[in-house]
Amino acid sequence: MTETIQATINSLPVEVAAGTTILDAARQVSVHIPTLCKHPDLDATAACGMCIVRVGSSAKMLRACCTPVEAGMEITTEDPEIIHVRRTVIELILSKHPNECLTCGRNQNCELQTLAADFGLREICLDSIVPDLPVDSTTRAVVLDPRKCITCGRCIQVCQQIQNVWALSFLDRGIDTRIAPAGDISLADSPCVRCGQCSAHCPTGAIVEYDESQEVWDKLLDPDAYCVAQLAPAVRVAIGEAFGFPVGTNLTGKTYAALRRMGFKAVFDTNFGADLTIMEEAHEFVGRFGNPNSVLPLITTCCPSWVDFMEKFHQDMIPHFSSCKSPQAMVGALAKTYYAEKMGLDPAKVYVVSVMPCTAKKFEIIRSKEMHSSGFWDVDVSLTTRELARMIKQSGINFRALAEEQPDHMLGAYTGAGTIFGTTGGVMEAALRTSHYLLTGENPARMEFLKTRGLEGVKEGKVEIAGQEIRFAVAHGLGNVETVLTRVREARDAGTEPPYHFIEVMACPGGCVGGGGQPYGVTDKLRAKRAAGLYQDDQAGLWRCAHENPYIQMLYEDFLGEPLGEKSEQLLHTSYFPRATYRR
C-alpha cells in the first residue's frame, strides 16, 4: 500500500500519496495555485516563481510545483503577501515582454495574459527591456518569436525530453537567456521536425503555427480557382473546443457545412484518404508478411514529423518504411486527377486546402517532388485546426447553430477504420482489420484490437490471423521510438526473428488528437477525450473496415486499377532519403 500523508491546505485537510507536490495536492481540495512553467505533461522546473506558497508561519516562500507535501504541513496558498509577490513576478515578466497582445497569435488564449488580467495589472512600474531578437518563420510550420518567451522552458523540455529532437535549447544565461537552436541558427537549419509540440505547450505567443489563412481567403475570392477542402480525422473532435463544445464532441457535419459556407466548392474527408492508405498499406504489409525475404517490420509513415525524424536520425530504418503517402497527400493527388477528371475540371484550377491537427503537414506537402504527382502540388495549403477555427469566426458563421452536412462522397465517404487514424494506435488497428480480411477473406469477428489503444507510450501486442502470429508495436511521442527501434536493431544484428512485424509511430503524444496544430491546453485528459470521440465515430459507422468503403471500391474500379498497381504507385506512394540533422 502506498504511504499517505496528511496535511492542511488553507486549513482544509488533505490526504495524499507520499511524494505528491503541494501543487497537485491543492487541486484535490479545489484550490488553484497559478503557474506559468509547470505543465501536466512535463516535470517541474521551478522556473517562473508564480506558484509560491507558505508553510506554517515561515517567512520563506516555497514553490508548490516542486515541493512535496510533508506530514503535518500547514500550507497557505493565498495571503496578501503571497499575492503581492505573485503580482511582482508577473510585473517582472511583463517588463521583458512586448506589449503586443492585440496582434499576437495567442490573443485571448494566453496563459500570461490571463494571469495579468486575473491580477488586475494596470501599469508596469519597471522599465521595459524587451530583447531585440529576430522572428524565425523559416520552417513555414511554426513561428518562433523569442521576444515573447518567458523562459519557462516548456518548449525545450518537450523538444528535448518528450520528442528527443533537440532542436530547441536555452542559449546564454540570466537576462540574456533565449530559446534558439544550437548556435543561433534558424529552425529550418536545425533538426526541428516541425511537430509543433513546442507551440502546443508554450504558455504565450512565443511559438505559434505559421498562419496561412490569408492565402486561402485570397484563393476563395479568386473566380478562377476551384477550391476544395479536406478534413483530417483528429480535427473533428477538437475544433469544437474553440466554440465551447465539450472536449471530444464529434463535429464532422458542422465542419463540412462551415467549409462550404466559407466558399469551398467541394468538401472531402481525409478519412477517405486514410481508408485508401489502409488499402495500399495492408496490401504492402500482407505482401511483405508472406515473403520470407522481405524487410520486416513494416513501419507506418502517415506522420510527417516521424518521417522527418527517421530521415534525420534513423536512416537505417528507411527500408522498413511503408511507401504509402499520408492520407492528406493521397486525397490531394486524387482531387487533381480522379476528381477533376470525373467532374470535368481543369486540374490546374483545383486548389486543395487541407485542415490538419498538425503543423508538420505544412512541410509534408512540399517535402519531395513526389508530392507533385498529379502534375501540380497535390495539396496547395495545409491549415491547422487553430487556423480553421479562426477563419470560421472571421466568417461570422454561427458554428453552433449550423445544420450538419455530408461530404462530397467521391473523396469524402469514410469508414470507422479511417476515422481512428487520428489517435495513437488507430492506424495499426485499421491496418489489422483489413490485413485480417486480406489473409482470411473475412472481416475480424471483433473489430476492436484493444492492445493498440490507450495513452501508454509504447504499446505492444500480438494477434493470430489465419494461424499466423502478427506482432505489432505502437509508439507515440518521438522519445518513445528509441525503445521500439532498439529492439528491432538488436534482433537484426543478432540475426534473429524480428520482435515485431508491424510498427506504428505518431510523433505527437496521443497521436494526431494531441497534434501540434490542435486547440491549446492539451493534457492527457484532453487527449483521451478526443480519442474517445473518434472511437465513437468508428463504432457508429456503417462500415468499419477500409476495404468496405464503396467509394474506395469505385475508385479502384474506375480509376486506380488495383492496390499497389501502376497508377497507385505513381500517385499514392513515395520514397525516403537521408537528411542532415543540421544544415549548418
Partner 1 sequence: MSPTETEDEIATIAKRWKNKRGSLIMALHGLQDRYGYVPREAAMSLGEQMDVPLARIYEVLTFYNYFRLESPGNQVVSVCMGTACYLKGAPQLLDRASESLGIKPGETTPDGEFHLQVVRCVGCCGLAPVVTVNAKLLAKVTGESLEAHLLKPGTAEDVKA
Among the listed residues 74, 78, 91, 370, the single catalytic one is: 370
Which residue among 322, 326, 373, 435 is the active-site one?
A: 322
Shortest separation between residue 153's beta carbon and partner 1, angstroms? 11
Helices (H) and strands (E) in the chain, counts: 19, 17
What DSSP element (H or E) covers 486? helix 481-494
171 touches partner 1 by CB under 8 A: yes
Beta bridge partners of 461: 472
Cell triple for 516: 501540434
Please provide the size of the chain in residues. Answer: 584
Which of 29, 91, 96, 170 is in the footprint of partner 1 by CB under 8 A?
170
* Catalytic position from the list 38, 219, 361, 362: 361
Q: Is 101 a catalytic residue?
A: no
Residue 370 annotated to the active site:
yes
Cα distance between residue 196 and residue 209, in whole Å = 7
Look up 512 and say whether it is catalytic.
yes
Contact at 8 Å (CB) between 94 and 86?
no
- Show the 3-state SS of 184-232: HCCHHHCCCCCCCHHHHHCCCCCEEECCCHHHHHHHHHCCCCEEEEEEC
Spatial distance between the Cα atoms of 189 and 181, rounded to a whole number of angstroms: 9
Pick the closer one to partner 1 by CB: 118 or 172: 172
Q: Is 284 noted as a catalytic residue in this protein?
A: yes
166 binds partner 1 (CB under 8 A): yes
Judge whether 281 counts as a catalytic residue.
yes
188 binds partner 1 (CB under 8 A): no
118 binds partner 1 (CB under 8 A): no
Out of 15, 100, 118, 172, which residue is the one contacting partner 1 (CB under 8 A)?
A: 172
Residue identified by cell 500570461 is 112
Q: Which stretch binds partner 1 (CB under 8 A): 55-63, 164-172, 450-458, 548-556?
A: 164-172
Distance CA 576, CA 33 (A): 48
Window contacting partner 1 (CB under 8 A); options: 64-72, 170-178, 264-272, 293-301: 170-178
Q: Which backbone phi and psi does 529 adopt, to 5 degrees?
A: -70, -40
Nearer to partner 1 among residue 178 and residue 367 (C-beta): 178
Using rule CB under 8 A, residue 377 touches partner 1: no
Q: Given 241, 281, 504, 548, which residue is catalytic?
A: 281
Q: Which of 46, 182, 220, 491 binds partner 1 (CB under 8 A)?
A: 182
Q: By CB under 8 A, is residue 169 in contact with partner 1? A: yes
Cα distances (Å, whole numbers) of residue 13 to 25, 408, 489, 569: 10, 58, 52, 65
Active site (annotated) includes residue 548: no
From the CB of 147, what's the least distance to partner 1, in Å? 18
Q: Where do the DSSP E strands lie in 200-358?
A: 207-209, 226-231, 266-269, 298-299, 350-356
Q: How many residues bind partner 1 (CB under 8 A)?
A: 14
Q: Which positions are catalytic?
A: 281, 284, 302, 322, 361, 364, 370, 512
Give me the residues that bind partner 1 (CB under 8 A), please.
160, 166-173, 181-183, 582, 584
